[in-house]
Amino acid sequence: MKVEQLWEEYHEAVRKFVLHKTNRHPDADDIVQMTFMKAYEGLARLQDEEKRRAWIYQIARNSIVDHFRKTKRADALPEQVAMAEEEPAAACNSEAAEGMMSILARLPDKYREALELSELQGMSQKQLSEQLHLSYSGAKSRVQRGRELVREMMTSCRAIEADPYGNIIEYAVIHEEPKPKRKPRP
């Protein structure tokens, strides 16, 4: 694929994505430009053309993070991003996070521990395997099974609606007690 084709095919969609993720931050166009600069540099290394869309969006996500990391090292979020927390979607995200934490507390110990270490504390699955004295594939399986249980339990007692970007826009408690659809594997 040529550089011009990449721009023509994805520019508008990536721009909308960045504007949405940054809450229309004034630097959004700069972030889009940086995204495509990085994409152009790495285009030759893209091995699977079918994954091009996911690849360009991942570059956009990383560019957003990099931009705010550089401009606001330890400062508060930009005013536009901070305002997003006051919107109803942010309240849904907060409620959903609380709901997920209550679900996490109900998981069997081995799954809860694996998810807490990997998802909440940011431990890599390699580090997790060492910490829990498991094989690497065993650690990966435990995290995956834990995620499946959380998803099943969340959907059994909560109504969750997300936008195309994965942001929660509607959240409601249907039942207080979640029920897994199946028993976890030993």
Q: Are 141 and 119 in contact (CB under 8 A)?
A: no
Q: Are 100 and 75 in contact (CB under 8 A)?
A: no
- Looking at residue 133, its pLDDT comes to 93
- Looking at residue 141, its pLDDT comes to 92
Q: At what angle do helices 136-157 and 88-106 cross, to 10 degrees?
A: 120
Domains of the chain: 3-81 (1.10.1740), 87-173 (1.10.10.10)
- Looking at residue 118, its pLDDT comes to 86
The mean of the pLDDT values for the chain is 76
Q: Does this model's pTM top 0.75?
A: no
Q: For 150-165, how does the pLDDT look when each residue is reduced to its tens digit (9 = 90+)?
A: 888 777 766 766 666 6
Q: How confident is the model at residue 170 (pLDDT cuts 50, 70, 90)?
A: low
Q: For 55-114, how does the pLDDT look when each residue is reduced to its tens digit (9 = 90+)?
A: 888 899 988 888 877 765 545 555 544 443 344 444 555 666 676 777 788 888 999 899
Q: Which two tokens stand for residue 52?
A: 């091009």
The pLDDT of residue 120 is above 60: yes
Between CA 152 and CA 146 the distance in angstroms is 10
- Looking at residue 142, its pLDDT comes to 92
Q: Are 22 and 80 in contact (CB under 8 A)?
A: yes
Contacts from 107-110 at CB under 8 Å and sequence distance 24+? 107/146, 107/149, 107/150, 107/153, 108/184, 110/142
- Looking at residue 174, its pLDDT comes to 63
Between CA 38 and CA 45 the distance in angstroms is 12
Q: What is the DSSP letter of 74?
A: S
